[in-house]
Amino acid sequence: MKISLEEISKQLEEEILIRCHEVDEEIHEIMGKLKAETLVILGYQNEKVHRINMKDIYYFEAVDGRVFAYCSNDVFEVKQKLYELEDLCHETSCFRASKSTILNITKISSVHPSVSGRFEAVLDNGERTVISRQYVPVLKNMLGL
């Protein structure tokens, strides 16, 4: 695939344009990667606002009506609802893993079945989180299985 680069003036908005013969899985994958690279979420911690890059977020979790973004070592509160984040993360590497979590596939180290009939994801930072049985097909679909 030919890759072109064009420098534009500061007045114009930056954009990435993909010209392809057909929008296939590979194109969707490239778009997902680009979206994850450029998507920034505002996270609140100790009355400070942080710009968190989507690719640094391990997972989102809703707890008692509040939503938190979990990074490698930090936890930030985000103002969006879980379903809003789900829309925002559409076509990125994130997927709904249970009623209360959205998980970043790129941060999953491995997946194991649990005795209770659910799946448990071990993340790169060693944290463990549940993947509900009903969302396993979503993960498999995203992985092309």
- Which stretches of the chain bind another protein, using CB under 8 A? 33, 98-101, 105-106, 108-120, 130, 134, 136, 139-140, 143-145
- Smallest distance from the beta carbon of 83 to another protein, in angstroms? 15
Using left for φ > 0, alpha for ψ between -120 and 50, and beta otherwise, residue 64 falls in left
Give the containing element (helix H, strand E) for 136: helix 136-142
Q: Kindly report the number of other CB atoms within 10 A of residue 107's CB atom.
A: 22
Which one-letter amino acid corresponds to residue 11? Q
- Smallest distance from the beta carbon of 97 to another protein, in angstroms? 10
Q: Based on CB atoms, which residue is closest to another protein, 53 or 134? A: 134
- Smallest distance from the beta carbon of 132 to another protein, in angstroms? 8
Q: Based on CB atoms, which residue is closest to another protein, 12 or 115? A: 115
